Amino acid sequence: MTATADRHDGYTVSVCRDERTAVARLREEIDGRRVALITDRTVAGLHASRLADTLAEGGLDVATTAFPAGEANKSLATATSLLDWLAGTSLARRDIVLAVGGGVVIDTVGWVASAYMRGVPYINVPTTLLAHVDAALGGKVAVDHPTAKNLVGAFYQPKGVVSNVGYLRTLDARQLRAGLAEVIKKGVIAAPELFEFIERRYDDILAVDPETTAFLVHGATAVKCRLVARDPYERDLRRPLNFGHTVGHAVETVTGYGPVLHGEAVAFGMACAARIAERRGLLDGRTRTRLTDLLTAVGLPVVLDDLPVRIDVPDTVGALRQIRKIRDGGLRFVLPVALGETVIADDVTDREIRAAITAEADRPWLRTG
Protein backbone atom coordinates (compact mmCIF):
# COMPACT_ATOMS: atom_id res chain seq x y z
CA MET A 1 0.00 0.00 0.00
CA THR A 2 1.27 3.43 -0.92
CA ALA A 3 0.00 6.76 0.32
CA THR A 4 0.65 9.80 -1.86
CA ALA A 5 0.35 13.50 -1.20
CA ASP A 6 1.22 16.05 -3.85
CA ARG A 7 1.13 19.80 -3.34
CA HIS A 8 1.56 22.65 -5.78
CA ASP A 9 1.43 26.22 -4.50
CA GLY A 10 1.28 29.40 -6.53
CA TYR A 11 0.73 33.01 -5.52
CA THR A 12 0.86 36.50 -6.97
CA VAL A 13 3.66 38.92 -6.10
CA SER A 14 2.60 42.53 -6.68
CA VAL A 15 5.32 45.20 -6.71
CA CYS A 16 3.61 48.56 -6.12
CA ARG A 17 5.05 52.06 -5.95
CA ASP A 18 2.60 53.59 -3.44
CA GLU A 19 0.27 52.59 -0.64
CA ARG A 20 -2.93 53.36 -2.55
CA THR A 21 -2.06 50.78 -5.20
CA ALA A 22 -0.90 48.32 -2.55
CA VAL A 23 -4.16 48.64 -0.58
CA ALA A 24 -6.18 47.99 -3.72
CA ARG A 25 -4.22 44.79 -4.36
CA LEU A 26 -4.59 43.75 -0.71
CA ARG A 27 -8.35 44.12 -0.88
CA GLU A 28 -8.42 41.82 -3.88
CA GLU A 29 -6.30 39.21 -2.07
CA ILE A 30 -8.30 39.45 1.18
CA ASP A 31 -11.62 39.17 -0.69
CA GLY A 32 -13.81 40.23 2.23
CA ARG A 33 -12.40 37.80 4.80
CA ARG A 34 -11.56 38.68 8.39
CA VAL A 35 -7.98 39.86 8.92
CA ALA A 36 -5.52 39.37 11.78
CA LEU A 37 -2.75 41.90 11.14
CA ILE A 38 0.54 41.21 12.94
CA THR A 39 3.49 43.57 12.93
CA ASP A 40 6.24 44.82 15.22
CA ARG A 41 6.03 47.95 17.34
CA THR A 42 8.31 49.98 15.10
CA VAL A 43 6.40 49.20 11.91
CA ALA A 44 3.09 49.72 13.72
CA GLY A 45 3.96 53.38 14.17
CA LEU A 46 5.34 53.82 10.68
CA HIS A 47 2.87 51.93 8.49
CA ALA A 48 0.85 49.08 9.94
CA SER A 49 -1.61 51.03 12.14
CA ARG A 50 -2.48 53.28 9.22
CA LEU A 51 -2.85 50.29 6.93
CA ALA A 52 -5.15 48.53 9.43
CA ASP A 53 -7.31 51.66 9.73
CA THR A 54 -7.53 51.97 5.94
CA LEU A 55 -8.62 48.36 5.55
CA ALA A 56 -11.16 48.70 8.37
CA GLU A 57 -12.57 51.90 6.88
CA GLY A 58 -13.27 49.89 3.75
CA GLY A 59 -15.48 47.51 5.70
CA LEU A 60 -13.06 44.73 6.63
CA ASP A 61 -12.98 43.15 10.10
CA VAL A 62 -9.36 43.79 11.19
CA ALA A 63 -7.74 42.75 14.48
CA THR A 64 -4.18 43.94 15.11
CA THR A 65 -1.26 43.18 17.40
CA ALA A 66 2.43 44.06 17.54
CA PHE A 67 5.45 42.50 19.22
CA PRO A 68 8.82 44.11 20.05
CA ALA A 69 11.07 44.72 17.05
CA GLY A 70 14.41 43.01 16.45
CA GLU A 71 15.93 39.63 15.63
CA ALA A 72 16.07 38.73 19.33
CA ASN A 73 12.26 38.55 19.26
CA LYS A 74 12.16 36.07 16.38
CA SER A 75 11.66 33.37 18.97
CA LEU A 76 9.45 30.56 20.20
CA ALA A 77 8.30 32.81 23.03
CA THR A 78 7.06 35.41 20.54
CA ALA A 79 5.42 32.76 18.37
CA THR A 80 3.63 31.26 21.38
CA SER A 81 2.29 34.66 22.44
CA LEU A 82 1.01 35.26 18.90
CA LEU A 83 -0.73 31.87 18.85
CA ASP A 84 -2.39 32.76 22.15
CA TRP A 85 -3.50 36.08 20.67
CA LEU A 86 -4.91 34.44 17.55
CA ALA A 87 -6.86 32.01 19.71
CA GLY A 88 -8.59 35.00 21.28
CA THR A 89 -9.66 36.52 17.96
CA SER A 90 -12.58 35.55 15.72
CA LEU A 91 -10.21 34.36 12.97
CA ALA A 92 -11.50 31.23 11.19
CA ARG A 93 -9.55 28.79 9.09
CA ARG A 94 -10.22 30.53 5.76
CA ASP A 95 -9.57 34.04 7.07
CA ILE A 96 -6.30 35.93 6.53
CA VAL A 97 -3.24 36.56 8.66
CA LEU A 98 -1.46 39.69 7.40
CA ALA A 99 2.28 39.93 8.11
CA VAL A 100 3.39 43.56 7.86
CA GLY A 101 7.07 44.23 8.48
CA GLY A 102 10.62 43.16 7.83
CA GLY A 103 12.17 39.73 7.78
CA VAL A 104 11.69 39.07 11.51
CA VAL A 105 7.96 39.74 11.28
CA ILE A 106 7.47 37.81 8.06
CA ASP A 107 9.47 34.75 9.17
CA THR A 108 7.77 34.63 12.59
CA VAL A 109 4.23 35.32 11.42
CA GLY A 110 4.56 32.89 8.53
CA TRP A 111 5.51 30.10 10.94
CA VAL A 112 2.66 31.03 13.29
CA ALA A 113 0.23 30.91 10.34
CA SER A 114 1.57 27.49 9.37
CA ALA A 115 0.87 26.14 12.87
CA TYR A 116 -2.42 27.83 13.77
CA MET A 117 -5.40 25.55 12.98
CA ARG A 118 -2.88 23.42 11.03
CA GLY A 119 -2.40 26.26 8.60
CA VAL A 120 -4.30 29.45 7.85
CA PRO A 121 -3.72 31.67 4.77
CA TYR A 122 -1.31 34.55 5.18
CA ILE A 123 -0.26 37.50 3.04
CA ASN A 124 3.13 39.19 3.27
CA VAL A 125 3.41 42.98 3.18
CA PRO A 126 7.18 43.61 3.37
CA THR A 127 8.45 46.95 4.65
CA THR A 128 12.26 46.54 4.45
CA LEU A 129 14.39 45.98 1.38
CA LEU A 130 15.54 42.60 2.68
CA ALA A 131 11.93 41.52 3.18
CA HIS A 132 10.90 42.80 -0.26
CA VAL A 133 13.55 40.83 -2.12
CA ASP A 134 14.02 37.78 0.11
CA ALA A 135 12.04 37.03 3.28
CA ALA A 136 8.59 37.63 1.78
CA LEU A 137 9.24 35.19 -1.07
CA GLY A 138 9.60 31.43 -1.06
CA GLY A 139 7.65 30.25 1.95
CA LYS A 140 10.60 29.51 4.26
CA VAL A 141 9.21 30.46 7.67
CA ALA A 142 10.92 29.98 11.02
CA VAL A 143 11.94 31.27 14.40
CA ASP A 144 15.44 31.18 15.87
CA HIS A 145 16.76 28.89 18.61
CA PRO A 146 19.76 29.67 20.83
CA THR A 147 21.75 26.92 19.08
CA ALA A 148 20.98 27.90 15.48
CA LYS A 149 19.18 30.45 13.36
CA ASN A 150 15.85 29.35 11.84
CA LEU A 151 16.01 26.00 13.62
CA VAL A 152 12.26 25.80 14.24
CA GLY A 153 10.30 26.31 11.06
CA ALA A 154 8.43 25.03 8.05
CA PHE A 155 7.86 25.45 4.34
CA TYR A 156 4.53 27.27 4.07
CA GLN A 157 3.80 29.45 1.07
CA PRO A 158 1.91 32.74 1.42
CA LYS A 159 -1.42 33.39 -0.26
CA GLY A 160 0.13 36.46 -1.82
CA VAL A 161 2.82 39.12 -1.49
CA VAL A 162 2.07 42.82 -1.84
CA SER A 163 5.22 44.96 -1.95
CA ASN A 164 4.99 48.73 -1.64
CA VAL A 165 8.43 50.13 -2.45
CA GLY A 166 7.28 53.48 -1.04
CA TYR A 167 7.81 52.00 2.42
CA LEU A 168 11.54 51.89 1.75
CA ARG A 169 11.76 55.67 2.17
CA THR A 170 11.37 55.23 5.94
CA LEU A 171 14.36 52.88 6.27
CA ASP A 172 17.65 54.03 7.71
CA ALA A 173 20.83 53.61 5.67
CA ARG A 174 22.00 50.55 7.58
CA GLN A 175 18.78 48.63 6.89
CA LEU A 176 18.94 49.57 3.22
CA ARG A 177 22.51 48.32 2.96
CA ALA A 178 21.59 45.08 4.69
CA GLY A 179 18.77 44.48 2.24
CA LEU A 180 21.01 45.25 -0.69
CA ALA A 181 23.29 42.38 0.35
CA GLU A 182 20.58 39.89 -0.59
CA VAL A 183 20.16 41.51 -4.01
CA ILE A 184 23.91 41.43 -4.63
CA LYS A 185 23.80 37.74 -3.69
CA LYS A 186 21.15 37.08 -6.33
CA GLY A 187 23.26 38.90 -8.90
CA VAL A 188 26.29 36.74 -8.13
CA ILE A 189 24.48 33.41 -8.24
CA ALA A 190 22.01 33.92 -11.08
CA ALA A 191 21.81 37.39 -12.65
CA PRO A 192 24.99 39.17 -13.77
CA GLU A 193 22.87 41.97 -15.26
CA LEU A 194 21.39 42.64 -11.81
CA PHE A 195 24.87 42.75 -10.28
CA GLU A 196 25.99 45.22 -12.96
CA PHE A 197 22.89 47.35 -12.40
CA ILE A 198 23.80 47.69 -8.71
CA GLU A 199 27.40 48.56 -9.62
CA ARG A 200 26.11 51.42 -11.79
CA ARG A 201 23.24 52.63 -9.63
CA TYR A 202 24.02 51.92 -5.98
CA ASP A 203 24.05 55.63 -5.13
CA ASP A 204 20.49 55.97 -6.46
CA ILE A 205 19.45 52.79 -4.65
CA LEU A 206 20.78 54.04 -1.31
CA ALA A 207 19.07 57.37 -1.95
CA VAL A 208 15.81 55.40 -2.45
CA ASP A 209 15.14 56.82 -5.90
CA PRO A 210 11.58 55.55 -6.64
CA GLU A 211 12.19 54.38 -10.20
CA THR A 212 15.51 52.73 -9.35
CA THR A 213 14.21 50.91 -6.28
CA ALA A 214 11.10 49.69 -8.10
CA PHE A 215 13.30 48.26 -10.87
CA LEU A 216 15.64 46.69 -8.30
CA VAL A 217 12.83 45.06 -6.29
CA HIS A 218 11.08 43.80 -9.42
CA GLY A 219 14.31 42.30 -10.79
CA ALA A 220 15.36 40.68 -7.51
CA THR A 221 11.85 39.29 -7.01
CA ALA A 222 11.89 37.69 -10.45
CA VAL A 223 15.26 36.05 -9.76
CA LYS A 224 14.18 34.71 -6.35
CA CYS A 225 10.90 33.33 -7.70
CA ARG A 226 12.68 31.62 -10.57
CA LEU A 227 15.21 29.97 -8.26
CA VAL A 228 12.64 28.90 -5.67
CA ALA A 229 10.38 27.36 -8.32
CA ARG A 230 13.08 24.79 -9.12
CA ASP A 231 12.93 23.29 -5.63
CA PRO A 232 10.43 25.08 -3.36
CA TYR A 233 10.73 22.61 -0.48
CA GLU A 234 14.51 22.14 -0.58
CA ARG A 235 14.51 18.44 -1.31
CA ASP A 236 17.97 19.12 -2.72
CA LEU A 237 20.10 20.82 -0.07
CA ARG A 238 22.60 21.97 -2.70
CA ARG A 239 21.05 25.38 -3.28
CA PRO A 240 22.81 28.46 -4.70
CA LEU A 241 20.48 30.70 -2.66
CA ASN A 242 22.54 29.69 0.39
CA PHE A 243 25.52 31.68 -0.93
CA GLY A 244 26.95 33.63 2.01
CA HIS A 245 24.60 32.03 4.50
CA THR A 246 26.84 29.27 5.86
CA VAL A 247 29.28 31.60 7.61
CA GLY A 248 26.59 34.30 7.81
CA HIS A 249 24.23 32.22 9.93
CA ALA A 250 27.10 31.20 12.22
CA VAL A 251 27.98 34.87 12.76
CA GLU A 252 24.37 35.67 13.66
CA THR A 253 24.23 32.75 16.08
CA VAL A 254 27.40 33.59 18.02
CA THR A 255 26.46 37.28 18.28
CA GLY A 256 23.05 36.53 19.75
CA TYR A 257 20.78 37.45 16.83
CA GLY A 258 20.67 41.21 16.61
CA PRO A 259 24.00 43.07 16.78
CA VAL A 260 24.84 41.93 13.23
CA LEU A 261 21.96 42.37 10.79
CA HIS A 262 21.15 39.40 8.56
CA GLY A 263 22.28 41.19 5.41
CA GLU A 264 25.54 42.26 7.06
CA ALA A 265 26.23 38.65 8.08
CA VAL A 266 25.43 37.42 4.56
CA ALA A 267 27.74 40.01 3.00
CA PHE A 268 30.58 38.89 5.26
CA GLY A 269 29.75 35.27 4.43
CA MET A 270 29.84 36.02 0.69
CA ALA A 271 33.26 37.62 1.03
CA CYS A 272 34.50 34.55 2.93
CA ALA A 273 33.10 32.14 0.32
CA ALA A 274 34.66 34.19 -2.48
CA ARG A 275 38.07 34.00 -0.80
CA ILE A 276 37.76 30.23 -0.47
CA ALA A 277 36.75 29.97 -4.14
CA GLU A 278 39.70 32.10 -5.25
CA ARG A 279 42.14 30.19 -3.05
CA ARG A 280 40.92 26.96 -4.68
CA GLY A 281 41.41 28.37 -8.16
CA LEU A 282 37.67 28.39 -8.91
CA LEU A 283 37.19 32.16 -9.07
CA ASP A 284 39.46 34.67 -10.75
CA GLY A 285 40.84 37.52 -8.67
CA ARG A 286 39.17 40.22 -10.74
CA THR A 287 35.68 38.86 -10.11
CA ARG A 288 36.34 38.34 -6.42
CA THR A 289 37.57 41.92 -6.22
CA ARG A 290 34.46 43.18 -8.04
CA LEU A 291 32.32 41.50 -5.41
CA THR A 292 34.23 42.71 -2.37
CA ASP A 293 34.62 46.20 -3.87
CA LEU A 294 30.86 46.46 -4.42
CA LEU A 295 30.09 45.22 -0.91
CA THR A 296 32.55 47.75 0.50
CA ALA A 297 31.19 50.56 -1.69
CA VAL A 298 27.67 50.13 -0.35
CA GLY A 299 28.92 49.93 3.24
CA LEU A 300 28.75 46.19 3.92
CA PRO A 301 31.34 44.15 5.87
CA VAL A 302 33.93 42.03 4.07
CA VAL A 303 36.53 41.55 6.88
CA LEU A 304 36.24 41.10 10.64
CA ASP A 305 37.00 44.73 11.44
CA ASP A 306 34.02 45.79 9.30
CA LEU A 307 31.49 43.92 11.46
CA PRO A 308 29.56 46.09 13.95
CA VAL A 309 30.67 43.87 16.87
CA ARG A 310 33.65 41.64 17.50
CA ILE A 311 33.11 37.92 17.00
CA ASP A 312 34.93 34.96 18.51
CA VAL A 313 36.39 33.04 15.58
CA PRO A 314 36.59 29.60 17.29
CA ASP A 315 32.99 29.99 18.45
CA THR A 316 31.93 30.93 14.93
CA VAL A 317 33.61 27.87 13.44
CA GLY A 318 32.06 25.80 16.23
CA ALA A 319 28.59 27.11 15.40
CA LEU A 320 28.95 25.53 11.98
CA ARG A 321 28.59 22.12 13.65
CA GLN A 322 24.90 22.83 14.20
CA ILE A 323 24.57 23.82 10.54
CA ARG A 324 26.20 20.48 9.64
CA LYS A 325 23.47 18.71 11.61
CA ILE A 326 20.70 20.67 9.89
CA ARG A 327 22.24 19.95 6.50
CA ASP A 328 22.48 16.20 7.07
CA GLY A 329 26.01 16.09 8.38
CA GLY A 330 27.78 18.21 5.77
CA LEU A 331 28.68 21.82 5.14
CA ARG A 332 27.65 22.65 1.61
CA PHE A 333 29.45 25.84 0.70
CA VAL A 334 28.13 27.74 -2.30
CA LEU A 335 31.27 28.97 -4.05
CA PRO A 336 31.15 31.47 -6.93
CA VAL A 337 32.88 30.50 -10.16
CA ALA A 338 31.82 33.55 -12.19
CA LEU A 339 28.99 36.05 -12.06
CA GLY A 340 25.90 33.93 -12.58
CA GLU A 341 27.63 30.61 -11.90
CA THR A 342 28.33 28.71 -8.69
CA VAL A 343 29.42 25.28 -7.52
CA ILE A 344 28.67 23.43 -4.29
CA ALA A 345 31.65 22.26 -2.24
CA ASP A 346 31.13 19.55 0.37
CA ASP A 347 34.77 19.40 1.46
CA VAL A 348 35.57 22.89 2.79
CA THR A 349 37.74 22.42 5.87
CA ASP A 350 37.72 24.26 9.18
CA ARG A 351 41.19 25.56 8.30
CA GLU A 352 39.90 27.13 5.08
CA ILE A 353 36.97 28.65 6.92
CA ARG A 354 39.17 30.13 9.66
CA ALA A 355 41.55 31.58 7.07
CA ALA A 356 38.68 33.16 5.14
CA ILE A 357 37.09 34.60 8.28
CA THR A 358 40.31 36.06 9.69
CA ALA A 359 41.61 37.57 6.44
CA GLU A 360 42.56 41.16 7.17
CA ALA A 361 42.66 42.16 3.52
CA ASP A 362 42.16 40.30 0.28
CA ARG A 363 45.61 40.43 -1.36
CA PRO A 364 47.69 39.80 1.80
CA TRP A 365 45.38 36.91 2.66
CA LEU A 366 46.21 35.23 -0.63
CA ARG A 367 49.93 35.31 0.19
CA THR A 368 49.57 33.57 3.56
CA GLY A 369 50.22 29.87 3.91
Q: pLDDT by residue (tens digit) across 206-217? A: 999 999 999 999
Angle, helices 262-279/285-297, rounded to nearest 10 degrees: 160
Same domain, 239 and 338: yes
| 7 part of a folded domain | no
Same domain, 103 and 26: yes
What b/e sequence results for 106-134 when a residue is b if at least 16 CB atoms lie within 10 Å of its CB, and e otherwise?
bbbbbbbbbbbeeebbbbbbbbbbbbbbb
Same domain, 191 and 88: no
Q: How far is it, in rounded angstroms, from Cα 262 to Cα 31?
A: 34
Domain boundary among 139, 170, 201: 170
- Assign residue 288 the CATH number of its domain: 1.20.1090.10
Q: How far is it, in rounded angstroms, from Cα 180 to Cα 204?
A: 12
Q: How far is it, in rounded angstroms, from Cα 43 to Cα 67?
A: 10
Q: How far is it, in rounded angstroms, from Cα 332 to Cα 127?
A: 31
pLDDT at 100 over 50: yes
Q: How far is it, in rounded angstroms, from Cα 207 to Cα 214?
A: 13
Domain boundary among 123, 144, 170: 170
Helix (H, G, I), strand (E, B) or coil at 338: strand
Active site residues: 118, 140, 182, 224, 234, 238, 242, 245, 249, 262
pLDDT tens per residue, range 60-96: 999 999 999 999 999 999 999 999 999 999 999 999 9
Same domain, 310 and 189: yes
Residue 336 φ then ψ, to 5°: -75, 140
| 5 part of a folded domain | no
DSSP 242: G
pLDDT at 123 over 90: yes
pLDDT at 325: 57
Domain boundary among 117, 151, 170: 170
Q: How far is it, in rounded angstroms, from Cα 150 to Cα 143?
A: 5
- Assign residue 84 the CATH number of its domain: 3.40.50.1970
Name the amino acid, one letter, at 152. V
What ranges in the chain are assigned the alpha helix state H?
Answer: 19-30, 41-43, 49-57, 76-87, 103-115, 129-130, 173-190, 192-206, 210-230, 245-254, 262-279, 285-297, 313-326, 350-358, 362-367
**299 touches 179 (CB < 8 A):** no
**How many other C-beta atoms lie within 10 A of the C-beta of residue 197?**
18
Helix (H, G, I), strand (E, B) or coil at 214: helix
Same domain, 140 and 195: no
Task: State which H helix or E strand residue 207 sits in.
Answer: none
Helix (H, G, I), strand (E, B) or coil at 17: coil
Percent of the chain whose predicted confidence (pLDDT) is above 90: 83
| 6 part of a folded domain | no
Which domain does 177 fall in, by range? 173-367
Lowest-confidence region among 93-107, 181-195, 318-332 = 318-332
Same domain, 193 and 302: yes
Sorted by sequence, the CB contacts under 8 Å of residue 342 that are 6+ apart come out as 188, 189, 240, 243, 334, 335, 336
Percent of the chain whose predicted confidence (pLDDT) is above 70: 94
pLDDT at 360 over 80: no
- Determine the average pLDDT of the residues in 174-193: 97
pLDDT at 369: 34
Residue 201 φ then ψ, to 5°: -120, 20
Same domain, 252 and 352: yes
Same domain, 181 and 325: yes
Number of domains, the chain: 2
